[in-house]
Amino acid sequence: MALVLRCLRPLPSLLHRSSFAMARGLPRAPRACPALLLEGCRQCAQQMLLSRQLATKKAKGKGQSQAKVSISAALVEDIINLEETSEDMQAVIEALKEDFSRNLNVRTSPGALDHITVVTKDGKFPLNQLGQISQKSPQLMIVNMTSFPESTAAAAKAIRESGMNLNPEVDGTVIRVPVPKVTREHRESLAKLAKQSTNKSKEALRKVRNKSITQVKKFKSKVSEDTIWLLEKQIQQMADEAATEMDKLLAAKTKELLG
């Protein structure tokens, strides 16, 4: 008897919440659920959580701010892996950081040439796999193509088209790469390249977002519209946060390049 009384004690509060949800047109807990009294109804808990999340929808009136949506990944793991989506978006950000660090520096170094892609008849290869790169002086870098002489012309072309403002000179199997002076024009050129790289990264980010949303829409016939809406909102929110981080990286890099 005491056990029954303890289970019935929270019932008025739960009924009040269910009535409140119905008044707002939100999902309500199923009636007469015995598990609700004894051990808790998982379905009820999920619906109540989604009801609270649904209340964060963007207000349609002017001047009202948009609330942040936060969905438990465990509740929707059968629909989509949100952690994997987050990791894919973070990978795009990390790739942009790596590009900024490796390729967009005011002072060109031998390491900046390492991963320039050279197109040969046998495929695409990083420059450092085809030639030995060294710095002869602060104003001159050397790429020795003795090991792959047939790729010398392709390597010179790749360096010239790398967007690093380099004008290589071929001497047999040796490519001489004069290091340009740090002019205002060169700084501005690098800043433009940083902007282009950021735009490419944002395009890659949109592909991750679109792939995830497409995955969610496959379950339209299996779950409620509210659940689909919440997941799409969550994915868009994650993409917006990633794009904001990219903009911050670009602003910092632009400031560094322009001085």
118 pLDDT higher than 50: yes
For the entire predicted model, the pTM comes to 0.61
131 pLDDT higher than 90: yes
Domains of the chain, each with CATH number or no CATH:
73-104+183-258 (1.10.132.20), 110-178 (3.30.1360.40)
Residues 169-178: tens digit of each pLDDT: 999 999 999 9
Whole-number Å distance between alpha carbons of 84 and 74:
13
What is the average per-residue pLDDT within 147-156? 95
Torsion of CA 196, 202, 203, 204, to 10 degrees: 110
Give the rounded percent of residues in the chain with a pLDDT score beyond 70: 70
Residues 6+ apart with CB under 8 A from 108: 141, 164, 166, 179, 180
Query: If you compute the radius of gyration of the chain from its CA atoms, what whole number of angstroms results?
Result: 29
pLDDT at 185: 86
> Minimum mean pLDDT among 69-83, 113-127, 207-221: which range?
69-83
> Minimum mean pLDDT among 150-159, 220-229, 232-241: which range?
220-229
Whole-number Å distance between alpha carbons of 237 and 57:
12
Cβ distance 17 to 46 under 8 Å?
Answer: no
Whole-number Å distance between alpha carbons of 26 and 19:
10
9 pLDDT higher than 90: no
Residues 19-77: tens digit of each pLDDT: 444 434 444 444 444 443 333 444 444 444 444 444 444 444 444 455 677 766 666 77
